[in-house]
Amino acid sequence: MHRFARDNRVESLVSISRKNAGLRLFGAAVNTVEFTALVGAGSLLAGFLGSLTGLGGGVVIVPLLSLVFHVDLKYAIGAALVSVIATSSGAAAAYVKEGFSNIRVGMFLEIATTIGALVGAALALYLRASVIAVIFGLVLIYSAYTSLRQGPHALENQPPDRIATWLRMDGTFPGEHGLESYHVRGVPLGFAIMFVAGVLSGLLGIGSGAVKVLAMDKAMKLPFKVSTTTSNFMIGVTAAASAGIYLSRGYIDPGLAMPVMLGVLLGSLAGARVLARANVKVLRYVFSGVIGILAIEMIYSGITGGL
């Protein structure tokens, strides 16, 4: 029975591709190996630039797959989500040893992001692709905007906060003169923004690092290094919460996720190696510009029903 159903599906897939005379990209027919190589190369570049500019590779994977490779939005989001877990866990492994991330803040806020991720993954089932594409475009524009606008960070030590003290969130990080301590503030507001970050992550298959940093930087007044590394630390857990649902719903296709995950992972590792020597400023402008264009195209395709 089981086997029969599967054969049926394979048959129908074959007939669909026969009807379209195979998949065509840039006007040429491609086979599975060529398709995998092209997606892998695109993911490699996305991971490399994403890690160099700090924007993350996952954020361009969905527009790349849906706009360039004409992949259905559900498959694209599933594949991007998997690559987000890989890069976040890979980077967190390096950061956690340096002692910047605040594990208590991260774990407490993960309640908000995982609930948000489950809500977002559930919403993805009910929202139309056009709506998701428009939300995606707006989030892309916000990400590009925050990466360009790098305001000064308030470094004066904050007074202690009642809730943060009760939750023992105050911490230390290795500064120029040994360990520097800091107080955490604005826990309820940070928690609320983290819920939104979780919803966006589950709905769009991104890490939503920009929103997470906003919560910890602006609302909770964490030192910059602490908020960025703690955000990275949390992205993997948030993405894992929605990835479980995406996997059991059949949105994660192995043939597509394989080149995306390996490409983004290798690209971001290479990016982290080059980071110390590169002049990132120009690159950040270029990459933000690319993201801006992709954002407008996502919104346009969403409104005109091209996705």
Partner 1 sequence: MSEMTVRRPDQKMDEIMGLLLRTGVVLAAAIVFVGGVVYLTRHQLPVTNYRVFAGEPVELRTISGILHEALALHGRGLIQLGLLALIATPVARVAFSLFAFLYERDWTYVFVTVLVLGLLVYSLFGGHAG
Residue 254 binding partner 1, by CB under 8 A? yes
Residue 199 binding partner 1, by CB under 8 A? no
Per CB under 8 A, which of residues 81..140 are in contact with partner 1? 82, 85-86, 88-90, 92-94, 96-97, 99, 103-104, 107-108, 110-111, 114-115, 117-118, 121, 125
Residue 35 binding partner 1, by CB under 8 A? yes
Q: Which is nearer to partner 1, 54 or 207 (CB)?
A: 207
Q: Which is nearer to partner 1, 255 or 289 (CB)?
A: 255
Q: Which stretch binds partner 1 (CB under 8 A): 152-160, 183-191, 246-254, 271-279?
A: 246-254
51/44 Cα distance (integer angstroms): 11
Q: What is the residue-wise DSSP string for 215-237?
A: IIIIIS---HHHHHHHHHHHHHH
Residue 69 binding partner 1, by CB under 8 A? yes
- Other CB atoms closer than 10 Å to residue 165's CB: what's the count? 12
One character per residue 157-186, x = contact with partner 1 (rule: CB under 8 A): ----------xx---x-----xx-------
36/14 Cα distance (integer angstroms): 18
3-class secondary-structure state, position 175? strand
Residue 17 binding partner 1, by CB under 8 A? yes
The amino acid present at 93, given as its one-letter code, is A
State the nearest-atom distance from the C-beta of 22 to partner 1, in Å: 5
| Cα torsion angle, 79, 83, 89, 92, sign | negative
Residue 30 binding partner 1, by CB under 8 A? yes
Beta pairing class for 171-175 and 28-30: unpaired
Residue 18 binding partner 1, by CB under 8 A? yes
Q: Which is nearer to partner 1, 50 or 146 (CB)?
A: 50
Contact 62, 294 (CB under 8 A): no
DSSP class of residue 67 equals: I
